[in-house]
Amino acid sequence: MMKRISIILILLLLTLSGYTQKVALVLSGGGAKATAHIGVLKALEENEIPIDYIIGNSMGALIAGLYASGFSPEEIEFSLTQPGLYDFRKGDTKRNYYFFQQHENDASMLNIPFSFDKGLELNLPISFYNVTDLDYLIMEYFACPAAACNYNFDSLMIPFRCVATDIDSSQLVVFRDGDLAMAVRSSLTFPFFIKPIKVKDKLLFDGGIYDNFPVDVAIEEFNPDFIIGSKAVNNYSSPDEDDVVSQLQNMLMKKADFRLDSKRGVLIEINSGTENIFQFSKVQQYIDSGYVATIKTIPQLKKMLGSGLDSTSLHAKRKLFIKDKPQMLIGEVKVKGVNPKQEEYFIKSIIRPEKHEDIYDFKKVYKRLVANENVRSIYPSLSYNVATKKFDVCLDINTTDPFNIGFGGYISSSGVNEGYLDLGLRLLGKTSKEIVVSSYFGTFYNSFSGYFKFEKPGIIPIDLKVGGLVSRKNYFSNTRYFYEDDFPAYIIIDENYADVSLGIPIGLSHSLRAGLSNININYIYYPDNYFTREDTADQSNFYYLNPYIEFERSNLNRKQYATKGSKFFLGFNYYTGNEHFIPGTKAEGVEEYTQSLSFFVIKTKYEQYFNISKPFDFGVTGELEYSDRPLLNNYVSSLLIADQYDPIPVTKTLFLENYRANAYGGLGVRFIFHIIRNLDVRVEGYYYVPYQKIVSTERSSDVEYSKQFSYQYVIGNLQLVYYTPIGPVGISTNYIDKVGDKFSFLFNFGYLIFNKSRYYR
């Protein structure tokens, strides 16, 4: 107690003996460029320039709020230059956080969610940036300072104000008290880029719409003797007739008045370049620019202000404020924005909220909710409960619309062209129920599938999934070489199944699923390429009962052409049933028969990406399979029931006899060079070894195994990929060790993804 009184006395004495002018620091907005204000603060502190009040807008509000909350400039710089902090550009958090609830990858490129209450609502991938991580981080930063000042911004280490815009009433909103994190977050909401939040039922946006340099707010709120203004950006240039963004900026953002009375203020003008305000890769450069610009004004500031606040006094003031911050412990968790039944679902989804007192532990819960397929958006806030000495959590959740229509497909120069359509219905109450039907249609692949999923939240969430598939792959439609090839080109695979399974999550990125499938696969094929219209094809019809258990994890950043994250799959499948063989006219001397079949398949896949340097990523892949599948009565049917190694998209459309085996291993490396944003060069190579290759004998219809490890093959791929807002565009050269031309050139647009087979895993 005596020590604290001493610190207070020191502060009073230093204040009385020092300067008498009250100084306000005003920080403009400016996106990434406004991080230059960190350099401004560093230079001002180093030279003991006093700051009695601090006011900011947008990114300036974030930095001003942190400084007012007791963070030193060095701490602010460390916090706002963390790797990955600004990776919110069009991020897909649902792919990264909760694999248990992820949909299987499909070829959708555009989704339209709707309800009968709201009507159709187009949900393009070019919508708001994903700032869910940033929301949580802001909440973490400001919860304790807000509690320490009893939610009165005048009682922060430095009295603070920030501004936002209420577009409904066309008024500037000045935050003086309340939820500090919410105030800063409101000021950060740049239109069309960051999703707005509601404060007291008002939808608020960036204060820069009306006042990007709130000097007038500083005067009205604090009436300072002196103002230091930090200008990170200029006003937007005149609109360009060919630039929609510049037109929107000029329509939405009022030009700021950066003038200051030279007798009672100094303007620090920062040279932040001519690039747009979203160049977050240059944050450190902007900070340095702010520091340099401020150092140039220090002589003028010292001349006008006289003696400043010495560092001992400032550090003591900061230490005293930090000491008053309460410990960050999580208390009660509340959910709003949903009906009572939905609230119960989300509370149960949190899984023992009383066990998540630590803020970092609770972040896992938050991420799980963010990734929940029933959540469209979520905004977290903390309020200090004096009685429990813990922070109560309020999660403002906006649920997804019940209906969704998805469109997509794939267009390529190879002749494989596919369309995709799905329709989904989601019903949310105490449990989550979902029905989805989808269809692929095209030259190579056609299918119709559907499933019903029932999810029950709890300590161990569980889902029950019932689904089915009817599909056909027609390799003959995709064949470029015919009479000159020895291997048959006429192959059609029909796969139909009904499936029921139970799944549980293991952590955020892992899922364990066990189930039972009833599978029918019908192969239609000729043993060679020499047939006429009068000939009939062989048919091998298989009926299986398939119990299985599969463990899978994934946090890849894209459903195709990933560059970050990892994926792992381990599955055990047992198949028991029979084969019904119907010979065609080319199968001389072979009678129709039915035989029983039983075998198992153990398969594992691995994929991981590493960042080597800023423009380079490196990926590795591995795949192993072992099965005791028997050889059948002929070479082609034995290949048909074997699995194929498909490390690149184009191999999924080809029947490759050299890459089909009952036991094999494959390794791959992927070098990815990021030329510019959304444009990559990918160089990929794969090495494949069948344990025993399936080979034909002197009689081409007969079949046997080769010696162990006596064959090996490679696959190569060089591709230029551009990621458009709705899907990837690629130009590639491929090398595949197959009959005919081993090199091929391909242009493609969209996703080459098919419904998952229950037989080919």
> Is 381 in the same domain as 488?
no
Q: What is the pairing mode between strands 160-166 and 171-175? A: antiparallel
> Is 303 in the same domain as 344?
no
Work out the average pLDDT over 726-750.
Answer: 92
Cα 476 from Cα 412, distance rounded (Å): 17
Work out the average pLDDT over 1-20.
Answer: 47
Q: Is residue 1 part of a domain?
A: no
pLDDT tens for each residue of 392-420: 999 999 998 899 999 999 999 988 999 99
Work out the average pLDDT over 558-582.
Answer: 94
Cα 58 from Cα 214, distance rounded (Å): 11
> Is 548 in the same domain as 589?
yes
> Is 337 in the same domain as 313?
no
Q: Is residue 307 part of a domain?
A: yes
pLDDT tens for each residue of 251-276: 666 677 778 877 788 999 988 877 77
pLDDT tens for each residue of 449-480: 999 999 998 878 899 999 999 999 998 755 54
Number of domains, the chain: 3
Q: Is residue 124 part of a domain?
A: no
Q: Is residue 17 part of a domain?
A: no
Tell which phi-psi region holds residue 306, choosing left (phi > 0), alpha (psi between -120 and 50) or beta: left
> Is 366 in the same domain as 491?
no
CATH at residue 348:
3.10.20.310
Name the domain boundary from 290, 324, 358. 324
Q: Is residue 443 part of a domain?
A: no
> Is 657 in the same domain as 577?
yes
Residue 605, pLDDT above cutoff 50: yes
CATH at residue 237:
3.40.1090.10
- What type of residue sits at position 34? A
Residue 278, pLDDT above cutoff 90: no
Q: Is residue 455 part of a domain?
A: no
List the domain range (segments joined by +) for residue 219.
22-89+130-324
Q: Is residue 422 part of a domain?
A: no
> Is 343 in the same domain as 318?
no
Q: Rounded to the nearest 5°, which phi and psi values hold at 62?
A: -60, -50
Residue 99: name the closest of 466, 553, 459, 434 by CA: 553
- What type of residue sits at position 664? Y
pLDDT tens for each residue of 641-696: 999 999 999 999 999 999 999 999 999 999 999 999 889 999 999 999 999 999 98
Q: Is 652 exposed, middle or buried (0-12, 13-18, 19+ CB in 10 A)?
A: middle
> Is 143 in the same domain as 40?
yes
> Is 273 in the same domain as 185?
yes
Sheet holding 375-385, edge to edge: 330-336, 390-399, 375-385
Q: Is residue 200 part of a domain?
A: yes
> Is 374 in the same domain as 271?
no
> Is 394 in the same domain as 314?
no
> Is 389 in the same domain as 535?
no
Name the domain boundary from 344, 368, 399. 399
CATH at residue 645:
2.40.160.50
Name the domain boundary from 365, 399, 433. 399
